Chain A
């Protein structure tokens, strides 16, 4: 039994007066303690919605979440809202994309760290403050005692993200979900934050689910990679296998579109088109309209997942050659 088991997770948005929209379509993956699993894909592929569904943070209204999310065997999707609140922040932590908007602008950092300690670890405020200072120290915030009394706008972007990480890790959750934690940061800060996450995960044996569109992040961090397209996992592989031989044309395209200086020719190779609003997986492959490797089957019948747990593929006509 894995630490976190996601099976056939689907999220359907139902808005009045609109067609139901399947944002996440039977996504399955699992995470072991200490493992880092990547969910990769471009905007709109359903990776963020997946993470919010796991955390139970999707608004109740207008969203239908089905499938199963098991944490140490407990089904999270059938927990009551209060039971889920008791788990969030304690068993499952989450770091968000934009550290400025994700911190409350009118509350000192200290309170934002201690409130989670007070809630889940029952610490009194004074003791929680000492712990918070220690936490900020651990995530590499200099002069943590002073920072505790400051407000988010007084911290730099990287510092804010460190504070958010400190909050997410305050109660030593066994699963940490990081939703594009470096997207809003400078490149130099990105590297620091990634190194910090990696270090914390290794130290504590926390399982990390890394949501990103950045293959550089994947290359540096993830043990296993799930590539999402149109709400489905289209390819799963270990990091090395994936970069060596991406089988799905979409993954292939993603890797090929990374600018490289060590090769002849200076033209980037983009994937043509963009993710359609509503992707029809029934009666064909959703990626077919953009696929260079398309065959007749692709628009005739829906592809099935093939392979084993370590290496999965959802494609009628996979690539056989490495990215040059």
Chain B
């Protein structure tokens, strides 16, 4: 198992390397550039050229790339062209917010999606099944920002039950340790801050969870229905096992295989959704960093953020593979 994990991790290195080349080339192939973005539309070509020279953007692409690679090896991703802060410091400031939101959204999606999908399959053709399938179709079809806006309108503005935006009430003076608002509150014993942060989390997390949850519900339902028709489930029934044992031990575990794949894929999409959700709820995560970075052609910031997203994706895929090996002995390397 350890060898399997290590081997998969080593396989991720060439993936990230190739990706770094692609990102580098892709960003520089976009029309316009940081100089144009910084100086505005009315800048003269001479001024743009001068600024490009200062930033080293007039040198050959391969030379720029090697420089980037060399600095990256020492942990230096450069400074943001917008804020002039080191990119890693910016990310360190904003990333916990995104992670917190994504993790909670994922927990909601998995925690509600798998049981709902399972129940839909078990009572196939019933009211719950039709309702779940119908609602999950809407969940997949409606964009996250719209779901977010609707939730905000109903629960924050009309009903006033939950805060409409932000991560924490500005009146609360919370201590920051990890950057995860809820966790910080719990660690420092500032329970009012933890509670307030939780309330702030609910709406964006629910909005963000809508798409992965819909996918998980549907795949769980399909997988359970599939497994119910398997011969080994018939064998389990022929043994006279309790219905509960048959479901828990024989059906669910096998059905989890396709579900774990879906969860892994959804985590990648979750990051994209987080950017939009953060915008709607003014969440201050990496979403605003990315949006701003794209508008202003902030190469260093975008390179670091995209590589980071890729790294998250690769790690998630690795976790999915490991979960596969845990669930299914046939996958394990002998």
Contact = CB atoms under 8 A, between A and B. Distances in A.
B250 A107 contact: yes
A14 interface: no
Contact of B329 (A57, A86, A120, A153): A153
Contacts of A254: none
A264 to B, nearest CB: 44
A164 B239 CA distance: 11
B69 interface: no
Contact of A107 (B239, B240, B243, B249): B249
A94 B239 CA distance: 8
12 contacts: A86-B240, A96-B231, A96-B238, A102-B234, A104-B232, A104-B254, A105-B329, A106-B329, A107-B249, A107-B250, A153-B330, A168-B238
Given A85-B243, A119-B245, A57 B330 contact: no
Interface residues of B, number: 22
A111 B327 CA distance: 15
Contact of B239 (A88, A101, A108, A153): A88
Contacts of B240: 84-90, 116, 119-120
B188 interface: no
Interface in B199-251: 230-232, 234-243, 245, 249-250
B71 interface: no
Contacts of B254: 104-106
A57 to B, nearest CB: 6
B232 to A, nearest CB: 4
A107 B330 CA distance: 11
Interface string A115-128: 11001100000000
Contact of B235 (A103, A108, A151): A103
A94 B327 CA distance: 27
B232 A102 contact: yes
Contact of B330 (A93, A102, A151, A168): A151
Nearest to A87: B240
Q: Which 3 A-B pairs have the closest CB atoms?
A: A89-B240, A88-B240, A89-B239
Q: Is the interface of B mostly helix, strand, loop or mixed?
A: helix
Interface in A65-106: 81, 84-90, 93-94, 96, 98, 101-106
Nearest to B232: A104
A53 to B, nearest CB: 13
A84 B239 CA distance: 11
Contacts of A84: 240
A257 to B, nearest CB: 29
B28 interface: no
Interface of B: 230-232, 234-243, 245, 249-250, 253-254, 327-330
Nearest to B233: A104
B228 to A, nearest CB: 9
**Size band of the interface chain A makes with B:** 20 to 34
Interface string A208-237: 000000000000000000000000000000
A182 B254 CA distance: 26
A55 interface: yes
A115 B239 contact: yes
A81 B237 CA distance: 11
B232 A164 contact: no
A101 B232 contact: yes
A93 B245 CA distance: 18
Given A105-B254, A106-B328, A119 B230 contact: no
Most buried by A among B232, B238, B241, B328: B238
A107 B236 CA distance: 12
A102 B239 CA distance: 12
A116 B253 contact: no
A280 to B, nearest CB: 30
Given A87-B240, A105-B232, 14 more contacts: A55-B238, A57-B234, A84-B240, A85-B242, A88-B237, A88-B238, A88-B239, A89-B238, A101-B232, A105-B328, A106-B330, A115-B245, A116-B239, A164-B235
A101 B327 contact: no
A103 B330 CA distance: 13
A317 B16 CA distance: 79
Nearest to B235: A102
A3 interface: no
A23 interface: no
A242 interface: no
Contacts of B245: 115, 119
B235 A106 contact: no
A81 B239 CA distance: 13
Given A106-B254, A153-B330, A96 B234 contact: yes
Contacts of B237: 57, 85, 88
B250 A102 contact: no
A132 interface: no
Nearest to B254: A106
A97 B329 CA distance: 23
B329 A94 contact: no
A167 interface: yes
B250 A104 contact: yes
A108 B236 CA distance: 14
Most buried by B among A55, A106, A108: A106
Most buried by A among B237, B240, B249, B328: B240
A151 B250 CA distance: 14
A176 to B, nearest CB: 11
